[in-house]
Amino acid sequence: MPTLYETLRADIVTAMKARDSAATLSLRTADAAIQRAAMDANKPIDDAMVVTVLRKAVKNLADARAEFEKGHRADLVSANTIEIALLEKYLPQAYDPAKLEALVVEVIAATGAQSKKDMGKVIGAIKQRPEAPLLDFSAVSKLVQSKLP
């Protein structure tokens, strides 16, 4: 089974052959960001790195789309929406909220966290878990805050 990065690279070729310039540009931009992240970290490209970079790209695009909506730029909003949908197909499905809550409760108990001051310890422990690449840490952070007094 090909890695996420290999799939993305194959889709770039497919988009180029189909002469889909918007998809080609979006995927090449994502590819460049992934390669840049690999060089910056001095690590080989793996699925976790690809997911991290693509999540950041989707978040940046969503933020930009919100600004375009404020400026009443429907053309840019639709372009961003299409690009977000294109990149989201490479991201894993969102972690089940019930499982996420159970994970957070388990890690809070394991770390002995007592207050919001211990949030960093809890988040750090969650990042060490094998399911960490599948998690959206903004949602994890909000959940940890709600669970700690």
pLDDT digits (tens, 9 = 90+) for 27-51: 999 999 999 999 998 988 888 888 8
Tokens of 42: 């001095």
C-alpha span between 112 and 46 (Å, rounded): 32
Residue 114 pLDDT: 78
* Residues 7, 31 contacting (CB under 8 angstroms): no
Which CATH number applies to 97-147? 1.10.10.410
Alpha helices for 71-134 (secondary structure H): 74-88, 97-111, 119-127
Q: What percent of the chain has pLDDT over 70?
A: 98
pLDDT for res 133: 66
Domain ranges of the chain: 4-88, 97-147
Burial of 118-136, coded b for 16+ CB within 10 Å and e otherwise, reads: ebeebbebbeeeeebbbbe
Q: Domain 4-88: which CATH class?
A: mainly alpha
Share of the chain above pLDDT 90, in %: 17
For residue 143, the model assigns a pLDDT of 78
- Stretches where the chain sits below pLDDT 70 are 94, 133
pTM (predicted TM-score)? 0.68
